[in-house]
Amino acid sequence: MFKIGHRPRTNDGSREPPRILFITATRIGDAVISTGILNHLLERHPSARFTVACGPVAAGVFAAMPRLERLILMPKQKWDGHWFKLWGQVVRQRWDLVVDVRGSGTAFFLNARSRRILKGGRRPGSRLGQLATSMGIAPPPLPVAWTAPADRARAQALLPQGVPLIGLGPTANWADKVWPAERFVALFETLRDRRLADARPVIFAGPGPTEAGMARPVLAALPGAVDLAGLLTLPEAAACLARLDLFVGNDSGLMHLAAAAGAPTLGLFGPSPVDEYAPSGRRAGTVVAPGPAGAAPMAGLTVAAAAEAAWDLLQQEGRAAA
């Protein structure tokens, strides 16, 4: 593993803190996966200050991160203009370490004592493992979800206490990854009828009409549900997810955030590669639709299969009666 040396002393005899630039993903899920590496750097370099560059949608993943000195948003531009703009924003700083998990090559054109660049392209194995290998870290550090006291206070105010909370994530950024809404309803009813009579469903979805449209049928069929669709920042969502007894959701950024937040998380997979994007957490599992790996239709995933996997997670946590 690389080391970061000491910076020169200033006029008053103190040392400037090391500066680390971390260039990460555009999408929420990939950004969450990268937090394990970033948290490893936080722990290994307790005096360092961090600049994170990411896509605007993923900005909330890092909003409550400790020792975040600057957050640079990178909206996509024509002709890769966002990379030139990023270079212009960071080129004047002398960096102790630049980590680029997007493999852009930007780090080669910066004044940096050390660089780690993840090679581009798709490769076998988990995305988390790929990042850790590129950094020379073993075993791969699990993702984390940073929250502030205000986020945790809002979660406490929004969610009922004293009853099992089953989170449902019926949305995704790609329609083919979405399990039918009526099956989310049937899954909750199956779990509730299986000795979770007082369980409350909690419905999560991102902002915007598309996400709301995917969540609406589930909310309509579960009138007692806690509706959090489109209401939360990412740190608030992480704080709410951390309070759940179980989260079940499509392969999405929300699924990765749930696992990082520590919720028992069941990811539902069909046409996306589970070996690459399974949720990474201390309490995470998957259930996969039958069919060709990475190309199976979600319609093939039955409620019974999802319910058994969900019940197994609940029992492992001691949150369900045998």
* C-alpha span between 289 and 179 (Å, rounded): 10
For 72, 228, 239, 259, the CA distances from 263, given in Å and listed in that order, are 29, 16, 10, 6
For residue range 295-305, list pLDDT tens digits in order. Answer: 999 999 999 99
- Band of the pLDDT at 322, cuts 50, 70, 90? very low
Residues of the chain with CATH 3.40.50.2000: 19-135, 150-316
* For residue 317, pLDDT beyond 80: no
Q: Position of tokens 């319910």?
A: 307
pLDDT score, position 192: 95
* For residue 240, pLDDT beyond 70: yes
Q: What's 19-135's CATH class?
A: alpha beta
Joined together, the tokens standing for residue 35 give 């937090």
The backbone region for 311, taken as left when phi is positive above 0, alpha when psi lies in -120 to 50, beta otherwise, is: alpha
Per-residue pLDDT, averaged over 152-179, amounts to 96
Element (H, E) at 100: strand 97-100
Tell me which of 116-120, 188-192, 269-273, 294-298 is least confident: 116-120
Residue 156 CA, chain-centre distance (Å), reads 21
* C-alpha span between 318 and 113 (Å, rounded): 48
pLDDT score, position 13: 55
Superfamily of domain 150-316: Glycogen Phosphorylase B; (3.40.50.2000)
- Band of the pLDDT at 294, cuts 50, 70, 90? confident
User: Are the C-beta atoms of residues 285 and 311 closer than 8 Å to each other?
Assistant: no
Work out the percent of the chain whose per-residue pLDDT is above 70: 93
pLDDT score, position 258: 98
For residue range 38-47, list pLDDT tens digits in order. Answer: 999 999 999 9
Side-by-side strand order, sheet with 68-73: 68-73, 49-54, 19-23, 97-100, 115-117
Strand 200-203 vs strand 226-227: parallel, antiparallel, or unpaired? parallel
Identify the CA nearest to 27 among candidates 254, 300, 288.
Answer: 254
Strand 19-23 vs strand 115-117: parallel, antiparallel, or unpaired? unpaired
Largest CA-CA distance found in the chain, in angstroms, rounded: 69
For residue range 60-96, list pLDDT tens digits in order. Answer: 999 999 999 999 999 999 988 999 999 999 999 999 9
For residue range 206-236, list pLDDT tens digits in order. Answer: 999 999 999 999 999 999 999 999 999 999 9
* C-alpha span between 81 and 233 (Å, rounded): 28
What value, to the nearest 5°, has the Cα angle with vertex 26 and ends 62 and 203?
70
Element (H, E) at 181: helix 181-193
pLDDT score, position 6: 55
